[in-house]
C-alpha cells in the first residue's frame, strides 16, 4: 500500500506538506503544490522558510518541531508570486519515527481565501442594509422640521427690524439649504436597488472621469497613468453611478498627494478566476478597476473607518465620498477593497461582476 501514498495524498482536497526534523520540505501533495505555486521536485530539501517566507505558518512548523506539540493557525497569508496571495488555515502535527523520537511534521493546508472573500461581501451587504435603514430614519426625522425652520427663517427675514437681523435670518436659510443638500447625498443610502443597468463601456466612463479631473485644479497634483485591458467587453452597469464612484476615488487619490510629482495609476483587468455570485446562484467573472496613488497613505488606526459616512480627515471634506462609492459598488453586487501603506500610497480596487447583455 505504501507506494500508493502519493496518490492518496493527491486525492485529498486539503494541501499536505511534510517536513523533516530540520524543517526541510520532503513532500507536497497536489493541492499544496497549487497553494504554494510549486512542485515537490522544486522544493524538496529546502527549508520551509525559503518556500513560504519566514512569517506565516513556517513559524508554526518551527514551534511544532521544537516543542513536539500540534498547533493550528487560522487564516495565515501565503504570499504568492504569480496569482494573488492566499489565506490558509494551517494545522501542524509533529511526526515520530518508529522509536517514538520526533521526526519532522505534517502540515495540513486549507485554502480559506474564498471563505474570507465571501465574508467580506456579506459584511458589505449587511453594512449597506443597516445604512439604508438609518438613512430613511434620518430622512423622516430631519427633513420635516428642516422645512419648518426654513419657512420660519424666511418669515423672520421679511419682518426683520434691522439689517443685522435680516443677515442672521438669511444665514439660517443658507445653512438649512446646506444641510438639505447633504441629506440628499446621504439619502442615496436609503434607496436600495435603484441602479439602472444598461450596456456600459467601462473605459469610456473612466475616460470621462479623467476629463473631469483634468479641468479640476486637483488634476495638477499628479500624473495620471492609464493601463486599460482591451479585452474587457461591454458590461451591464449603471454608468452614472460608476462615474460617481470613480470620480470620488480619483479625487481622494489626488487629494492624498502632497507634492506635484505624484502618480495616479488607473488600471483595469478582466478577472476570469475571480467569480462573483449575482445572488441568484449565477456566478460570473469579474472586472477589477484599480486606483493606485503615490499619496500619503491611510494610517492603520483609521483604515477600518474610512468608508463610514461622515468620517473624514480633511478640513473641508464631508466624509461621504467613499461611503457612497462603496454603496454604489455594493448595489452592483461588486466589492470595494482598500489597501494602503502609510507614506507610500493607496490602492482602491473596485471589483464588478461582468454582467453581459442578454
Ligand atoms: N486615496 C487615499 N489616500 C489617503 N487617504 C484616503 C484615500 N481615500 C480616502 N482616504 C481617507 O479616507 C477619508 C474618507 O474619504 P471620503 O472620500 O469618504 O471623504 P473625504 O474625501 O474626506 O470627503 P469628501 O469625499 O466628502 O470630499 C479621507 O478623509 C481620507 O482620510
Ligand atoms: Mg473623498
Band (pLDDT 50/70/90 cuts) for residue 261 is confident
Among 94-103, 191-200, 288-297, name the one with the lowest average pLDDT.
191-200
pLDDT (mean) for 232-236: 94
Q: Is 293 in the pocket of ligand 1 (CB under 6 A)?
A: yes
Distance 103 CA to ligand 1 centre (A): 53
Q: From CA 82, how far away is CA 258, in angstroms rounded? A: 33
**pLDDT beyond 90 at 101:** no
What is the tens place of the pLDDT at every residue in 14-57? 999 999 999 999 999 999 999 999 999 999 999 999 988 888 88
Contact 78, 86 (CB under 8 A): yes
Q: Is 341 in the pocket of ligand 1 (CB under 6 A)?
A: no
pLDDT recorded at residue 2: 55
Q: Is 296 in the pocket of ligand 1 (CB under 6 A)?
A: yes
**Number of other residues whose CB lies within 10 A of the CB of residue 225:** 11
Contact 172, 153 (CB under 8 A): yes
Which atom of ligand 1 is least distant from the CA of 253? 1
**pLDDT beyond 80 at 82:** no
Name the β-bridge partners of 206. Answer: none
Q: From CA 111, how far away is CA 78, in angstroms rounded? A: 10
Instruction: Tell me the pTM.
Output: 0.62
Q: Which ligand places an atom closest to the C-alpha of 305? A: 1
Distance 149 CA to ligand 2 centre (A): 30
Which of residues 186 and 309 earns the better pLDDT score? 309
Cell 483634468 appears where? Answer: 214
Q: Is 346 in the pocket of ligand 1 (CB under 6 A)?
A: yes
Band (pLDDT 50/70/90 cuts) for residue 217 is confident
pLDDT (mean) for 84-104: 88
DSSP 111-148: E-HHHHHHHHHHHHHHHHHHHHHHHHHHHHHHHHHHHH
pLDDT recorded at residue 3: 64
Band (pLDDT 50/70/90 cuts) for residue 191 is low
CA-to-CA separations, 80 to 35, 85, 86, 308, in angstroms, rounded: 9, 5, 7, 31
**pLDDT beyond 60 at 67:** yes
**pLDDT beyond 60 at 105:** yes
**pLDDT beyond 80 at 112:** yes
**pLDDT beyond 90 at 190:** no
What is the tens place of the pLDDT at every residue in 118-176? 787 777 777 777 777 777 777 667 877 888 899 999 999 999 999 999 999 999 999 89
Which of 330, 345, 357 shows the shortest CA–CA distance to 123? 330
Q: From CA 130, how far away is CA 256, in angstroms rounded? A: 29
Q: Which ligand places an atom closest to the C-alpha of 253? A: 1
Domains of the chain: 2-111 (3.30.450.20), 116-190 (1.10.287.130), 198-353 (3.30.565.10)
Distance 341 CA to ligand 2 centre (A): 18
CA-to-CA separations, 154 to 146, 162, 163, 178, 203, in angstroms, rounded: 12, 15, 14, 15, 47
**pLDDT beyond 90 at 337:** yes
Mean of pLDDT over the chain: 88
Distance 310 CA to ligand 1 centre (A): 10
pLDDT recorded at residue 110: 92
Distance 251 CA to ligand 1 centre (A): 8
**Number of other residues whose CB lies within 10 A of the CB of residue 339:** 14
Q: From CA 293, how far away is CA 161, in angstroms rounded? A: 55
Q: Is 292 in the pocket of ligand 1 (CB under 6 A)?
A: no
pLDDT recorded at residue 192: 55
Band (pLDDT 50/70/90 cuts) for residue 310 is confident
Q: Which ligand places an atom closest to the C-alpha of 318? A: 1
pLDDT recorded at residue 53: 86
- Write the residue with the smallest CA distance to atom 17 of ligand 1: 321
For the chain, percent of residues with pLDDT exceeding 90: 52
- Write the residue with the smallest CA distance to atom 9 of ligand 1: 252
Cell 482536497 appears where? Answer: 13
pLDDT (mean) for 272-287: 85
Contact 87, 75 (CB under 8 A): yes
Among 158-167, 194-203, 212-221, name the one with the lowest average pLDDT.
212-221
In this structure, the strands spanning 235-237 and 198-200 are antiparallel
Q: Is 318 in the pocket of ligand 1 (CB under 6 A)?
A: yes
Amino acid at each position: 500500500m505504501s507506494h500508493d501514498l502519493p496518490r492518496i495524498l493527491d486525492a485529498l482536497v486539503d494541501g499536505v506538506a511534510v517536513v523533516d526534523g530540520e524543517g526541510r520540505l520532503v513532500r507536497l501533495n497536489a493541492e499544496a503544490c497549487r497553494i504554494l505555486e510549486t512542485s515537490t521536485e522544486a522544493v524538496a530539501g529546502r527549508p520551509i522558510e525559503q518556500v513560504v517566507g519566514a512569517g506565516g505558518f513556517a513559524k508554526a512548523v518551527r514551534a511544532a518541531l521544537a516543542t513536539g506539540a500540534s498547533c493550528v493557525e487560522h487564516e495565515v497569508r501565503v504570499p504568492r508570486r504569480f496569482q494573488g496571495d492566499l489565506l490558509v488555515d494551517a494545522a501542524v502535527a509533529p511526526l515520530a519515527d518508529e522509536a517514538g523520537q520526533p521526526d519532522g511534521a505534517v502540515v495540513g493546508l486549507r485554502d480559506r481565501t474564498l471563505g474570507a472573500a465571501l465574508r467580506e461581501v456579506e459584511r458589505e451587504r449587511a453594512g449597506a442594509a443597516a445604512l439604508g435603514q438609518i438613512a430613511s430614519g434620518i430622512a423622516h426625522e430631519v427633513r420635516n422640521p428642516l422645512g419648518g425652520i426654513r419657512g420660519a427663517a424666511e418669515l423672520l427675514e421679511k419682518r426683520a427690524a434691522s439689517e443685522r437681523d435680516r443677515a442672521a435670518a438669511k444665514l439660517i436659510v443658507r445653512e438649512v439649504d446646506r444641510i438639505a443638500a447633504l441629506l440628499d447625498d446621504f439619502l442615496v443610502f436609503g434607496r436600495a436597488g435603484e441602479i439602472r443597468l444598461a450596456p456600459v463601456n467601462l473605459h469610456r466612463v473612466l475616460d470621462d472621469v479623467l476629463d473631469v479631473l483634468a479641468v479640476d485644479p486637483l488634476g495638477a497634483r499628479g500624473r495620471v497613468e492609464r493601463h486599460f485591458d482591451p479585452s474587457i467587453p461591454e458590461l451591464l452597469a449603471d454608468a452614472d453611478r460608476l462615474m460617481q464612484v470613480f470620480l470620488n476615488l480619483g479625487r481622494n487619490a489626488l487629494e492624498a498627494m502632497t507634492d506635484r510629482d505624484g502618480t495616479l495609476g488607473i488600471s483595469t483587468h478582466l478577472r476570469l478566476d475571480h467569480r462573483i455570485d449575482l445572488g441568484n446562484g449565477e456566478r460570473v467573472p469579474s472586472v477589477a478597476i484599480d486606483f493606485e496613488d503615490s499619496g500619503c497613505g491611510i494610517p492603520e488606526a483609521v483604515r477600518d473607518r474610512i468608508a463610514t459616512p461622515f468620517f473624514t480627515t480633511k478640513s473641508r471634506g464631508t466624509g461621504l465620498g467613499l461611503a457612497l462609492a462603496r454603496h454604489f459598488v455594493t448595489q452592483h453586487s461588486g466589492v470595494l477593497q482598500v489597501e494602503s501603506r502609510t507614506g507610500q500610497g493607496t490602492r482602491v480596487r473596485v471589483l464588478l461582476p461582468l454582467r453581459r447583455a442578454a
